[in-house]
Structure 1
């Protein structure tokens, strides 16, 4: 899975939210100050080239839509992160979060439950 730039991710987050839209629809979702129309258009064309965004042509106007779901992209990025920074070790990831984030008891219990369920599936 291709890693997107911050600008590309911003556009993808908008497209995931609106599901499909023209450049003007994407721009409407940006907070002020909005980027120039041509900048957004250029980034969307790059996303089309990367085959992450598709489009329907209506004459000279194009309506864009995501070809990759937010979940699929997130999963790929998380897998890359775990692989690149934590040696594919769930133990290292859990250790990082347990040391760097103040998890409350409810979150810890949920994580423990999830890990027990994962273990049960592996044991089957």
Structure 2
């Protein structure tokens, strides 16, 4: 099964759906925290999530019962693989190093997993934003505006 990306709004709704597993539209409206979205908005997202393959529908009389098809674990694994491929060159070592650098995991927590390697934080060079500095701090423009201000003052006097 191919898993597709979700928007932030779709992800937030899916978190609720994963808790409910099987539900009706009215269940969502009751369970959704304040501020509650309009029922039509939720219906639209349900339709989109069915099209993306995250939910299945089962008609019961005049209403639909929705059922989660993609478990949360599968989606988390998908996101982790995407993150690893796009930002860490598929390197688990770089991911763990980043987690340690950002204080999201400690050396002691690594030992809980049986990892005894000492990982020292890597100091990365800060990127140079020469073009951004030129745009944000233009030296020539300051002189021009000062000259213009002086000319305006002379004209007023």
The correspondence of residues 34-73 of structure 1 with structure 2, limited to 5 A, is: 34-73=36-75
Segments of structure 2 that go 5 or more residues without pairing to the other structure are 118-157
Q: 1:115 to 1:35 in 2, by over 3 A?
A: farther
In structure 2, the partner of 1:110 is 112
In structure 1, the partner of 2:78 is 76
Q: 1:108 to 1:49 in 2, by over 3 A?
A: same
Segments of structure 1 that go 5 or more residues without pairing to the other structure are 117-124
Match of residue 12, structure 2, among 10, 16, 19: 10
Q: Which has the larger radius of gyration?
A: 2
Write 1 or 2 for the structure with the bigger share of helix: 1
Aligned residues: 115
Q: Shift in Å at residue 101 of structure 1?
A: 1.1
Q: 1:87 to 1:8 in 2, by over 3 A?
A: same
Mapped partners of 1:35, 1:115: distance in 2: 48
In structure 2, the partner of 1:19 is 21
In structure 2, the partner of 1:32 is 34
In structure 2, the partner of 1:122 is none
Does the residue aligned with 1:2 lie in a helix, a strand or coil?
coil
Mapped partners of 2:71, 2:50: distance in 1: 14
- TM-score of the two chains, using structure 1 as the length reference: 0.85
Deviation readout 1:13-47 (Å, 9 max, x if unpaired): 11110111111111222111100000001001000
Match of residue 99, structure 1, among 98, 101, 107: 101
